[in-house]
Amino acid sequence: MLPTDVIDRAHAGRCTKEDALLLAAVPLSELFALADELRAEAVGDAVTYILNRNINFTSMCTGTCRFCAFREDDGYKLEIPEILRKVEEAVCAGATEICIQGGLRQDMRLDDYCGILESIKFEFPSVHLHAYSPMEVWHAATGVGDGVSIRDALTALKKSGLGTMPGTAAEILVDEVRARICPDKLNTSQWVEVIRTAHRLGIKTTATIMYGHIESVQDRIDHLFLIRDIQAETHGFTEFVPLPFMPYNNELGRTMIRNGNYGTTGIDDLRMHAIARIVLHTHIQNIQASWVKLGPKLAQYALCCGANDLGGTLMEEKISKSAGATAGEYMPPPEFDWIIRNAGRVPKVRNTLYEYI
């Protein structure tokens, strides 16, 4: 039985690291029941999703992340007309959000990042642009001789039409782990600097964790508490998205598989979503279960373990697919509704800022 003081602190949004460590080891039924209770308290029975499209504009990258299956030396780069064609297709299908992320090209300057946003906004002024990870913003600000501050880069991107940012490139926000899985990526304090600056400029972001590789339970918990601390200060996170590491077609996964470790199991995934809900309760309302990573059936079950959002229709998805995800690249709205209703919940289409449409 969970101690009542742990339950009381969770309801009050004051779960401690010791509580989280304890929760990581309690029987699943108790953990899921508490997470589900807090979900109901936070958002009721609505389960949201968004009509959106992913555009990964280039697969070329100077990065060296050991978990990456997306980077290609002779990769592609989409030119603006091709990007606009994809946006048009998405808008015609009812998408309200375009999510844009790509590799770090040596020749891409801040102006190029701004140019993509401006071209889309010029043709499709009402579409919401959810674009560029903190790593891309860092690259735009500091790469190819621009040498502007993060604040100036974000201000320029916002002026060009940036609405919100994905809080990706977070992986595990513990430097010892980052040094082993993505040594050339921005470090924890740099990630936090980009996110804090974005929030201060009124650019909301999501928050993510990529778990299930070399990190410990304590690392996951430290990550969650860092996110919670930032949120207490800025209130700039719209949602938290646990992303299980996909072990295929990448160096890190190959090493793990050689040692008999095939990445997260379904139980581990559900536990992660439940603990995120409990640690972040009263701080971040929305916990997303990614149907692309989990598959629609496990994502549906995650709705009973603290999650209240299923992400987006996507239309295309390259990053998870290249690392072994098999759930597909597009899920139509009637299928979202079907999954949600069959979980006994109420489907709601949302925009990027979680307003119902």
Q: From the centroid of its chain, how far is CA 204?
A: 13
Judged by beta carbon, residue 68 or residue 284, the one nearer ligand SF4 is 68
Query: Which C-beta is closer to ligand SF4: that of 224 or that of 319?
Result: 319
Q: Say which residues have a Cβ less than 8 Å from residue 85's Cβ, sequence separation at least 6.
A: none
Looking at the Cβ atoms of 49 and 70, the one nearer to ligand SF4 is 70
Interaction between residue 71 and ligand SF4 (CB under 6 A): yes
Q: CA nearest 240: which of 290, 286, 292?
A: 286
Region from 60-68, 196-204, 259-267, 328-336 binding ligand SF4, contact rule CB under 6 A:
60-68
Contact set for ligand SF4, span 117-146 (CB under 6 A): 135
Residue 210 lies near ligand SF4 (rule: CB under 6 A): no
91 binds ligand SF4 (CB under 6 A): no
Q: Does 237 bind ligand SF4 (CB under 6 A)?
A: no
Integer Cα distance of 144 and 112 in angstroms: 11
Q: Which position among 70, 191, 237, 336 is part of the footprint of ligand SF4 (CB under 6 A)? A: 70
**CB hemisphere CA count around 242 (13 angstroms):** 30
333 binds ligand SF4 (CB under 6 A): no
* Strand ranges of the sheet holding 309-312, from the earlier edge strand across to the other edge: 309-312, 46-50, 346-350
Distance separating alpha carbons of residues 171 and 178, to the nearest angstrom: 8
115 scored as a contact of ligand SF4 (CB under 6 A): no
Regarding 103 and contact with ligand SF4 (CB under 6 A), the answer is: yes
Rounded Cα distance, 329 and 339, in Å: 17
Stretch that binds ligand SF4, among 33-41, 59-67, 217-225, 296-304 (CB under 6 A): 59-67
> Which window, 14-22, 64-72, 286-294, 336-344, contacts ligand SF4 (CB under 6 A)?
64-72
**Residue from 15, 68, 154, 173 that binds ligand SF4 (CB under 6 A)?**
68
Residue 288 is classified by DSSP as B
**Interface with ligand SF4, residue 245, by CB under 6 A:** no
Among 61, 95, 170, 287, the residue binding ligand SF4 under the rule CB under 6 A is 61
Positive or negative CA dihedral for 168, 169, 175, 180?
Answer: positive
Rounded distance between C-alpha atoms, residue 135 and residue 139, angstroms: 6
Q: Quick one: which of 23, 38, 55, 104 contacts ligand SF4 (CB under 6 A)?
A: 104
Bridge-based pairing of strands 309-312 and 46-50 is parallel
Rounded distance between C-alpha atoms, residue 309 and residue 50, angstroms: 9
The site for ligand SF4 (CB under 6 A) is made up of 61, 63, 65, 68, 70-71, 103-104, 135
